[in-house]
Structure 1
């Protein structure tokens, strides 16, 4: 039997011996029909191709890569990686040898030798890993290594983004629902709110629920018009990359009557204590006066001074609302705020190489905002504050407002 690709191997039978059970032992020698022409006539004839098995060096795997995953062992959640290769077309390949050099190590260590093209790398930590693999044949032949360097995040890998957010309002209560995040190391969710219906972002929204258990995917809040944003947080404190958002245009309290609206921005004509008005916004002042500066060379920026910003500041609204009688009033604050790095100016840069990006806004800073208008983070600019007083009775009230930054 022969083909155009490979010819049949020829043998010359030397002897045949009968064995027990109707079996025969055949002794043969390889036969080359072109031997006489090569030896006696000196012809240079091509070798007869009698096998489809490749010859020569064994080929290395075509490429190598890694994909991270999480797994549970007992009560702990650990991270691992699947090391995968793309094998070549060499029919001699029977096994694949994997080795890894972990962060801080100086040499490779054996991971596994197996027939599968995917090896498991358990218990990974954040850092740079060097991985390599090579092909082995059944005769022990080895191919060159195929190597790659991969950066693994381990448990610092951000959890998956929330894919949907649904909002329902009933009897003054707003209910948020989102599909659960499947990450094994999910710890909790964080919910933020902005009174803006358009253009609200995570950095300029206020925290209304800082911890919603990871086993719960709903939350209830008093109904308010605005934008609600939700992000997942894992056990390492890492947030999902993007927040899911939804808006509600349904008014909050139908049984209350809005009788007064106070809007201090952008003039901020009231009394300011350790805060300043900058381009229509309020921000914390420096913790010291210019007279306290020893020398100008020690001043980082004019806003920061040498000792940083004040721990807190107060703004007392200029307008005092007199309701004309004593009775219960409800105040609702509408505050748009954002945090920023006061040292993110070009004057404070040491070298351009030390700057990650020109827009140095901290998108992940933790901020808290209370409904009565007090704020408690380090660097804040207050865009606008509007208080609405809703009065269910005719008793007299006199209300003064102040805002703490």
Structure 2
């Protein structure tokens, strides 16, 4: 594994970082203080992101994306992760890779408009009673002739208020297994405005201001069979095939925020004076900086090793679970210590630290909680010895 960056990777990092600092940082205070990401601002930044070649950069080149390998994509995500989440995720959108699983007709209708910045997608799995246990979902899809009828509720659906359509996973039947009955899952495209499909306001969130969540309600929502994504009853296969690297994406954005927080802490420790000297000369502060940098380095190596393995075709669920677990818990530690070094000023919104600290909390929950990641890791360890 070569730890050095290619000239192309260096250029992508420099270009993305410059875009973040020049086009996203200036708007953070507005979004943080109002909790709103204005549509006019979205369109303004989106146009600049498209012009810079940063929009939908996660997509393959043959469909109009940047065609980045996984490591380079994670470098790009790390730089974007430095900024307010709503700004970088919405204005510099990365459409879900699951759109690549669509038929040629579905790609024309959903994938390509998202890549061109004409539409937004959202992904709907989670329900009030089914978070980590997706097989426990209650929302159903029942076949009626050539149509499907959807009923039920999804919640915590990110930016569904902005999205033009949802990719919805529904329980579509049951099958007998050695462990008893298990639900079959099917994925559907559901366009906003479809009869029986409603998008309601979601919950106020302590993390990621301006980045909204919504509640999706399905009441005898009828869809033609052409709206099925992938094969009927094989929704999990679609998800597992196309959504695997999202845990690494979360890890990479955490790295960016942690670097920003550590940078502020180092600068403050070098400038702030107490008792006649820089506070960075006190062991109580200097050791914090050392521990923060060490934890960040460890998480960085784990995320990018998993990304490298992904490109080699050798990555395991354990690799990605470890990377996600380490990066998200590292960010919580670094953000907290950065605030401690700044004292009271760290909690003031003049600095991004209190925002990074708040935002860090959700990372240990979405895309699989820390407990789920530990379950994946421990199961892999025990399976190797017959446990």
Class of the TM-score when normalised by the shorter of the 2 chains: under 0.3
Which has more radius of gyration? 1
Compare the two structures and name the one with the higher helix fraction.
2
- Larger relative contact order (C-alpha < 8 A, sep ≥ 6)? 2
The TM-score, its normalising length taken from structure 1, stands at 0.21
